[in-house]
Amino acid sequence: MNEMIQAIGENLARDGYHYDPCFGSNNLSLAQKRDMFVAFASKFGDMYLSENKSVIQTNPQPTAPSSMPFDRNAQIGWHNDFSTKNVRPRISMSWIVNQDPHGPMKGGWRLASARDVITVIRNMDDGVELLARLGQPIFPFGYLERGAVNHFPILEKADGDQMRFYGRALREGAQLDTLRIIAKPELLEIVQIVEEAADMVGYIKPAPQGALMVVDNTRSLHDRLPQTVEGKQPLRTALLSFVV
């Protein structure tokens, strides 16, 4: 186990993410898997959410609200978790305890190193100026159903490798923002630039039974591809956990 923890730490430091197509045992009950997942996540730090929410179990369904994107059919889009919050988890984890009935590419993951995304932007014609712009605390992150925004930089610093990003939260934040520190057309253009840069350097990983994704929540972006949300067969189920 210690070797695994070390390997994950090395991958997070190098790439911002770790992917294991076969983690843990499929012979355990769901309750045992939840307990095992909590014990595993705890080796990386304290839980971000309260004890009764230390593990979130996804439940795909056609009626899932927009506030629960992990339960909806649609692809989530490039993001890191809790992007609207002042304090975010350092590490996010997702473990597939039941794969999508239509195969492991349904609900598969996309993963991109923030460092690679930043490099793509830096190499653009006006990349240095754009990175400096991304480092300003002017970007409104918010959700329409909550009706409020917080302003943060997308980059912690222009020469760093840490990002705060979620296309949906920025697009909806632009609709809610009353301060208008940044013009909406410029904001939407920047969101598109970041998403296209992530598309260029991102990798798609399948989500078969037992697959594990661990991400550094500032040094990578991740996404979930469309998943099945209806039918009589068991649907894609993931256990999610977040570590400070």
**What angle separates helix 167-176 from helix 184-201, to the nearest 10 degrees?**
180
Mean pLDDT of 120-129: 96
The architecture of the domain spanning 2-113+203-243 is: 4-Layer Sandwich (3.60)
Instruction: List residues bridging with 204 in a β-sheet.
Output: 110
CA dihedral 110, 113, 119, 124 (to 10 degrees): 20
What is the pLDDT at residue 158? Answer: 62
User: pLDDT tens-digit profile of 70-103?
Assistant: 999 999 999 999 999 999 999 999 999 999 999 9
Mean pLDDT of 30-53: 92
Which regions of the chain carry the CATH code 3.60.130.10? 2-113+203-243
The answer, yes or no, to whether residue 159 has pLDDT greater than 80, is no
The answer, yes or no, to whether residue 204 has pLDDT greater than 80, is yes
What is the pLDDT at residue 157? Answer: 72
Those residues whose C-beta lies under 8 Å from the C-beta of residue 202, and which sit 6 or more positions away, are 78, 110, 111, 112, 221, 223
**Starting from the edge strand earliest in sequence, which strands make up the sheet with 91-98, in order?**
17-20, 212-216, 91-98, 237-243, 56-57
